[in-house]
Structure 1
């Protein structure tokens, strides 16, 4: 029980720490059923928010949790932060729809994070297929597809 609780707390801390550390884009995948072990994967594209002089420097962070065995890979990257933020802003205006999805399949989520000058960080759902609750959530903005393509190209 202690190991399970520790693993849950460790995963929550990892998730909580990334959403406020300059994360622009995120892909996460969680194997829920039909496996001998639990596999969580998360990949984020991050921008340096602390120093505006180096705003186009960022990081690609890949995290894996396989039955409580955690790994994290951090790779420096160049990115066009202003262009990505502009497209995220466009995606934030999309209409969100939910429809039935295949049950007993992985949860795969694509999200963007958008911060206004004076406000808190907002989560923009790009797409999520959730085999745990059998729902698929989609954003109809045309800006979504390029963002998902950017995430997938980097998070292989």
Structure 2
């Protein structure tokens, strides 16, 4: 069921959204990676399309017919795997709404979920604001945060 927030809509991602999701991922200003770097860690259009086909694991935020953000989870490992919003759409609640949809999916199957992010990122402030904590340093400037089901 689509969730409406302010001037955007959150809906499950489809295989047809994969190209737009990659455009968002490649356009972000933090945690930048190019296609080659993403492919080196196994993130390709084909791998994302396969994940979307196999489970309800990705959502997009759309505004005016355009994908402006997306988020993905790994339901097996209880990981919030990705959450990205185009810089010109930040500050509108899109990241929070995407995170909350991911949490619902993760907590439907797990008592606790986790994510990894840069210790000094703007994203870490969002996650902390939404109740993610239990911080542990995983090296290279990154941290792991977790959150328990209410």
User: With structure 2 as the length reference, what TM-score do the two structures score?
Assistant: 0.24
Which structure has more helix as a fraction of its residues? 2
More strand by share: 1
Which structure has the higher relative contact order (CA within 8 Å, separation 6+)? 1
Q: Which has the larger radius of gyration?
A: 1
**TM-score normalised by L of structure 1:** 0.24
